[in-house]
Structure 1
């Protein structure tokens, strides 16, 4: 019996839920709708990209598609961009009762399996030893333009290619339209929060290292120079101080710039009697699992890491038990919107009465905005901005409370909504409707976003959108308006 989608008003016929020897792949309404939309597109297209925020359930969608394809006798590859993500994906498929092999360094090959979980670095050298796939699922597919990824895709033009990404944009701002034909966008992060699929959160920004003059390398800050700026005893001591004030006892993950920086963070917390450990991609696999399981059991309060708990990492699958992260300490400045969103997503998995805490010691929220800010995703990408921030055309930057360091939206209320401290009203650079006060609360964030959406939807021409961008004080109103306009045109149904 068709039912209404929880995300829009469409009537959809839900796909049958596949069951194997493991637990059922149970999809939410919006996931079912995304699969229905993708099936429709795949009647004429072979390369489809699913966009869904971190924590929205891309892995569940992939597991459902794999189960359906296996039942039809198809060959499927699931491709991970880092070797350490293979184990987590394998554990997830085992949970759903999907037999599979692994193509990755250190694992024996079993080409008899119709499903293979693959590390791209290994697959690109072994792909000709395997039966050709009918379906390839690309996890974190915004990396697909890399040479190894592109070579695999080019070798299988007759296969169906399904990409998964929360942030389908490359660091250089270029799009993915050379690699995918259609993009299926799921509900926004704001919608997922409002409907309880993601947790609400508080964002505190005590300040980060001065990044002026830091060299850029491959679209991001130079790791060596960033580490020199960030790995300072005072900055790390501030992390402990503010964590104690705002997140004491919360299960925490910290992100360091490099191994030495992450180790120093863990050592600082451990010296204060807080059970903390460091992990990175080079940590022995058995030690890594042991530490993650201790973290899940509550024996460790925190884990500090370097590029481990980011894209595609399934903590619960590695721990083999349900576990949520309650606090994120971000100490690694980045120009990558994708990295920023992935880090924040670690603390957004919902739990009863949970309010996540994000401690921004890197200045990343100033560069990229709030996690649930409205973003227009298209396959054509985004314009590159000279200032380096991914949020130059977004709402004005928030005010930081001088007492508790909560980030409060502009224009600010008279007092901090978290600690009650008086907030000095900042001069207004653009017109703001009278009485429209912005606080960090979810209700106020929603009101501001609804108003922005109404204003945007009322613009019927490219010129009206450009004028709106000027009124909002955007640095590049013409480029912003053109991006919104192109996104609208892409969503219009084709005329028969």
Structure 2
């Protein structure tokens, strides 16, 4: 397998770091940059010197991916994982961290495989007790960590384990080179997270789930998706198992092929769901803490963030699932219902990663952004995102006080501009949504005894085009449709009141 130039450069930098005396080196490489390819090339470098290598990962999918890449390099290896036959005679072993712990540390049924080099995939997890114990047991070996996000959940670096960090090109650079696709961001709602405590550097998971698993917010996710991404392969990240299941059920109720998986999903069932998602049988997959790492599906175009997080690493991992290129895929779509884009910025922004284990990454900047999260407003007049006042600095519109949750009446979504954090132009709604909305307007006419001309003009005013649906049938208006009509009625009443003055 031929390496790209930036992969060769990263490999050479790792070798130079080892020669400078750094025994434990961390490779930071963005999602889609080929971390496993680079690691496999490094394995080949060690094996050619007659040395032994142990590759560790925490998920079956990661082990399968590594094995596949090693095969591509012609490297014979064994796999230590439940359900796989052990082949200890090979100099390279790919092991599940849980299986290795169970067999060689807890029960001591098997000896630990000998290794001159230990590679840890998703190395931001290496401060867990199991990894730390294995690192101590392999104190004489070189350690190579692989990760796209070299920080703990609280933003602190991994300097307790690694003495040097080699950085491959950033997400922004890879997008410019065409190795990843650019991302377009939508921010329909910013949830109210006041009062939610922190735990391990992130939001308390129980309190967060209670706040986000709300019928109004779940409905907002579905309606926004229909406007922006209907028909596109989508990954939804939820706050809890129950939240994920409720989101999947809501999609299904709208006639959309969706499924849910979580950490407790049976292996065969998970494989079935992922296979059907890859093939297109399932269009939307909702998950809780399963697809953030080790999941490859380049055709996936849309990432829905329904899981707020203070962790920059978690945010990048989630969005990274949809950045891989695929034929016909022009860009990735990020629908942010979590406020992450306002807290962390855009994933293509440059990040100054550090190994410092004492100081969280850009702690002051991130603190300021967390403060903004509490008061961030999207202007109803010009859609500028701002904070610190209820008066829009761009157009002077006075924002109404928000209730506990951000209400979405007709949040005319738009593209979030990277430089100004403003919505540059309004969304072009999906054709399916337009037709469905017209049918609901006809249904409202039938309920109220209005002429169909009312539906015609209401549609025209909203979408700035004529409703060309000669076969449209009246259907029951959704809550969103009724809210939009109510919004128009309030607007008309206020206009009349102002004219009388």
Q: TM-score, normalised by structure 2?
A: 0.71
Equivalent of 2:121 in 135, 139, 150: 139
Q: 1:416 corresponds to which residue?
A: 424
Distance 2:340 2:241 in 1: 20
Distance 1:218 1:382 in 2: 14
Mapped contact 1:42–1:48 kept (Cα < 8 A): yes
Matched, 1:35 2:11: yes
Equivalent of 1:404 in 405, 408, 413: 413
Distance 2:6 2:426 in 1: 33
Equivalent of 2:32 in 55, 58, 66: 55
Distance 1:333 1:388 in 2: 19
Distance 1:306 1:61 in 2: 29
Equivalent of 1:324 in 299, 304, 307: 299
CA RMSD of aligned residues (A): 2.9
Call closer, same or farther: CA 1:386–1:101 in 2, change over 3 Å.
Answer: closer
Mapped contact 2:197–2:207 kept (Cα < 8 A): yes
Distance 2:94 2:175 in 1: 31
Question: Any unmatched runs of 5+ in structure 1?
Answer: 1-24, 317-322, 421-496
Distance 2:99 2:264 in 1: 17
Mapped contact 2:93–2:113 kept (Cα < 8 A): no
Matched, 1:119 2:96: yes
**How far off its partner does 1:343 sit?**
0.5
Q: Deviations over 1:400-443 (max 9, x none)?
A: 53521432345467x724549xxxxxxxxxxxxxxxxxxxxxxx
Matched, 1:337 2:308: no
Q: Report matched runs for 1:71-86 at 5 Å.
A: 71-82=48-59, 85-86=62-63
Equivalent of 2:353 in 355, 367, 377: 377
SS in structure 1 opposite 2:424?
Answer: coil
Question: Any unmatched runs of 5+ in structure 2?
Answer: 384-410, 429-501
Distance 2:122 2:418 in 1: 31
Structure with the higher helix share, 1 or 2: 2
Mapped contact 1:208–1:235 kept (Cα < 8 A): no
**How far off its partner does 1:110 sit?**
2.9
Distance 1:234 1:393 in 2: 26
Larger Rg: 2
Q: Deviations over 1:292-317 (max 9, x none)?
A: 12111111111111111112x1325x
Q: Which moved more, 1:262-271 or 1:351-360?
A: 351-360
Q: Deviations over 1:136-176 (max 9, x none)?
A: 11111122222221111122222111111111111233322
**How far off its partner does 1:76 sit?**
1.4
Q: TM-score, normalised by structure 1?
A: 0.72
Distance 1:213 1:279 in 2: 29
Matched, 1:355 2:331: yes
Mapped contact 1:251–1:301 kept (Cα < 8 A): yes
SS in structure 2 opposite 1:335?
Answer: coil
Aligned residues: 389
Q: Report matched runs for 1:452-463 at 5 Å.
A: none
Mapped contact 2:239–2:307 kept (Cα < 8 A): yes
